[in-house]
Amino acid sequence: MGAGTAVSADIYYMSCSLDDPAIDEPCSRLFFYQDQTKEKWFYHDQPGWRVVSTCLLPEHGTTPRSVVALSEEGGIEVYNRNGSHVEKIVDAGLSDSSKGYGYLNRVRLIGGALFACGYGGQLYKRGRTGWRHVDQGLLRKPSLPMPADRSKIEEWMKNEAEVIDVLDVNGVSQTDIYAVGDHGFIAHYDGSTWVSLRPKTQSCLYSLYIESANDVWIAGSQGTLLKGNAQSGFQAVLRKSTEADFYAMTKFNDEVYIGASDGLYKLLRGDVIATEPTLKMKMTEVADVEAKEGVLWALASKHLLRFDGKKWDIFEHIDNT
C-alpha cells in the first residue's frame, strides 16, 4: 500500500502492489475501501503502471466526484462512477516515447487545476488542451552518461549539480504554489515565475501541507519539519532531532499528525510523540495522512487506519489477511 487519498469519512482510495522482490514488472491494483458496504474492498488494475500518487477531484457540474492516479511514467487515470479515462503527460517518464526528463512523483489538485511534478525539475499543469510545462527556469535536460573526454567532465558535473528533483507540489491557489525536493529545495510560484528560496536544510523534502497562506508546512528526511511561507521564510519546528523520515502531515482537531518511516506521530510542544497504533503494532512507511469529514486517515505499508478523535480503527488489507 503505497499512495492514497481520502474520499470521505467512510471511503479511502489507494494504490497497492505486490511486495515479492522477485516480481519486478510494474503493476498497480487500485483499491477503494468502503466501510459502509458489505464487501468493503473494490479494485481495478492498471497493468504496466507503477502508481506513485493519487488525489481527489470533487464533483463539478455534471462531472461526478473522481479519483486521480499518477504513474511514474506520466500516465494519468481519472476514475469515477462513469468509468475510467486515461491520458498521458507526454514529456514525462523514461520510456522511448518520452523526452527522458525522468519519473514523476506527485499529482495535486490546486485551485481547481491538476498539477504534477517530478525529477529533473518537471512541473506540469493540466489545462483544457492537455498537460503543459509550468517549470520555466527549473526544468533541466535529461542526465547524460559521464563523457569519456576529460575536458568535458567539468561541464557535465555542473549540469548534474543543477538538476532539481521535485518531490511535491502544493499551494493555496494557482498563483500561490510551492514546490519542494532533494537537497532542501524550496521554490514559490506566483502563477508566472518560479523563485527558489534560500535553503534551510540539505535534507530531502518529501511533502507539503498547506494549512493557510501564512502557514505552509514541509516534511522531510531525518525528522525535518519546517513551517513558514515565501515572504517570511521557513523555520524548523522540532526541538530534538530524530532519525525517522517524515513523509506526510496534516492537522486534525487542531493537532499536527505526521506520517513517518517508522510510524505515525503527533506534534506536541516542539517534539514528536508516537500515536497509540505506533506503540501497539509494527507500522512502517506511513505515506499519507489526511483529515476528511471529521476523521483522520493514515496509510501505512500494510495497514489503513482511521481515527475519529477517540477510537482508532485499523483495517487489514483483504489480500494480506
Q: Which pLDDT tens digit goes with each residue over 72-86?
A: 999 999 999 999 999
- Same domain? For 11 and 49 the reply is yes
Q: Is the pLDDT of residue 18 over 90?
A: no
pLDDT, tens digit, 9 for 90 and up, residues 195-238: 999 988 999 999 999 999 999 999 999 999 999 999 999 999 99
- Same domain? For 19 and 148 the reply is no
- Same domain? For 39 and 81 the reply is yes
Please give the full DSSP string across 232-287, using - where no structure is assigned: TEEEE--SS--SPPEEEEEEETTEEEEEETTEEEEEETTEEEE-HHHHHS------
pLDDT, tens digit, 9 for 90 and up, residues 139-179: 987 766 666 777 777 776 666 666 789 999 999 999 999 99
Q: Average of pLDDT values for 62-91? A: 95
- Same domain? For 224 and 275 the reply is no
- Same domain? For 194 and 98 the reply is yes
| Per-residue pLDDT, 62 | 87
| Per-residue pLDDT, 99 | 84
| Per-residue pLDDT, 200 | 87
Within 8 A by CB and 6+ apart from 89, the residues are: 74, 75, 76, 104, 116, 124, 131
Q: Is the pLDDT of residue 42 over 70?
A: yes
Mean pLDDT of the chain: 92
Q: Is the pLDDT of residue 286 over 80?
A: yes
Instruction: Give the domain-ending residue among 218, 237, 256.
Output: 237
- Same domain? For 229 and 254 the reply is no
- Same domain? For 196 and 271 the reply is no
Contact 168, 207 (CB under 8 A): yes
| Per-residue pLDDT, 163 | 76
- Same domain? For 228 and 257 the reply is no
Q: Average of pLDDT values for 250-274? A: 95
Q: Average of pLDDT values for 43-67? A: 94
Within 8 A by CB and 6+ apart from 128, the residues are: none
List the CATH number of the domain containing 225: 2.130.10.10
Give the separation between CA 237 and CA 242, rounded to whole angstroms. 12
- Domain residues for the domain of 42 are 1-59+72-88
List Cα–Cα distances, 179 to 166, 208, 216, 237, 311, in angstroms: 7, 8, 11, 19, 35
Can you tell me which residue has the cell 479519483?
A: 67
- Same domain? For 288 and 213 the reply is no
Within 8 A by CB and 6+ apart from 86, the residues are: 75, 76, 77, 78
Instruction: Give the domain-ending residue among 199, 214, 237.
Output: 237
| Per-residue pLDDT, 19 | 79
Q: Average of pLDDT values for 254-258? A: 97
Contact 247, 283 (CB under 8 A): no
Contact 180, 166 (CB under 8 A): yes
- Same domain? For 195 and 214 the reply is yes
| Per-residue pLDDT, 97 | 76
- Same domain? For 266 and 283 the reply is yes
Q: Average of pLDDT values for 302-313? A: 96
- Same domain? For 105 and 207 the reply is yes
Q: Is residue 67 domain-resident?
A: no
> In this structure, what C-alpha cell is assigned to residue 125?
499543469
Number of domains in the chain: 3
Contact 264, 305 (CB under 8 A): yes
| Per-residue pLDDT, 143 | 64
Instruction: Give the domain-ending residue among 204, 237, 270.
Output: 237
**Residue 253 pLDDT grade (very low, low, confident, very high; cuts 50, 70, 90):** very high
| Per-residue pLDDT, 160 | 64
Q: Is residue 66 domain-resident?
A: no
| Per-residue pLDDT, 77 | 98
% of the chain surpassing 70 pLDDT = 94
